[in-house]
Amino acid sequence: MVNKYYDKDCDLKLLEGKTVAIMGFGSQGHAHALNLKESGVKVVVGLRKDSKSWKVAEDYGLDVYEVKEAAKLADLVMMLVPDEVSADIYNKEVAPYLKDGDTLMYAHGFNVHYNLVNPPEGVDVSMVAPKGPGHTVRSQYQKGNGVPSLVAVYQDKSGKAKDVALAYASALGAGRAGILETTFKEETETDLFGEQAVLCGGITELMIAGFETLVEAGYEPEMAYFECIHEMKLIVDMIVEGGFSNMRNSISNTAEYGDYHAGKKIIGDQTRKAMKDVLEDIRSGEFASDFMREFSSGRKIKFLTTRKRKANHQLEEVGKDLRSMMSWLNK
């Protein structure tokens, strides 16, 4: 049974007198920096000197430094830069300035789990990973709510790594919703699997296959788009709000019967075997190696070519035209 923690289990005093350096100011970076600051934590932001986010962060009233300068000032460094550049930034601009007793923190375990970074023995290494996009982490905090978060410890030199991570999560607002304890291995491997097999890779290929099946059978592309892509959000929203039972209680009897009738035909033994193969690639490190090799090449092996090919699919043009009819989407 997973351990769950709330604000009553967290001690924000553990962050008193500490300087937290947020490396990066993207979706998660801006939310972490602002939420922590408003929770009374001393925050600095580390960015490249030519970063477009520099002035944005300053306009929020944050102190901004180049990454190595922020690392020098910090007692706790939170790495919130893309996975593919995180190790390079850490090795060149953070690691030389870590001191015994410092804390190195991540919001995703990729670089630590796959040994792309090797933290020194004298520091704590932990994770605080909100289970929502940065804009939601920020907006929920401002409303007095929070987004559930994961917390994990990789290296506990001080004996207080978990307590400090819980304090950080609480300062983000996560303690209002719930903080779940995990490991770097579990978070990394389940996150990658979910993205590849279901959330991004699986669901988009399922929608594309449905769209193409109807169009190839002679149905209008607009009808195929509505039925296989547009309405996906309606179904997912019902599931998120109350689970599969809520969704099945909300749809028609025809749709529910069709669910039971066809679901296993679509997602059968072959798909489940493919999912196991995907998971094995993740667990073995093969995916991580492939990913880093792709970005080391300048994304020219398959990333950019695949992006271009996907963007030119017929359903993208059909979808663009249909979305222009829905004024509420523009908001």
Residue positions forming the annotated binding site for Mg(2+): 191, 195, 227, 231
Number of Cβ atoms within 10 Å of the Cβ of 288: 20
CA 123-45-117 angle, 5° bins: 35
* SS3 per residue for 254-297: HHHHHHHHHHHHHCCHHHHHHHHHHHHHHHHCHHHHHHHHHHHC
- Binding positions for substrate: 252
Which residues neighbour 18 within 8 Å (Cβ) at sequence distance 6 or greater? 41, 42, 75, 76
Distance in angstroms (rounded) separating the CA atoms of residues 25 and 27: 7
- Binding positions for NADP(+): 25-28, 48, 51, 53, 134
The conformation of residue 119, written as its DSSP 8-state character, comes to -
| Beta bridge partners of residue 153, listed in sequence order | 126
Number of Cβ atoms within 10 Å of the Cβ of 68: 14
- Binding positions: 25-28, 48, 51, 53, 134, 191, 195, 227, 231, 252
Task: Give the catalytic positions in this structure.
Answer: 108
Which amino acid is it at 36? L
Distance in angstroms (rounded) separating the CA atoms of residues 187 and 185: 6
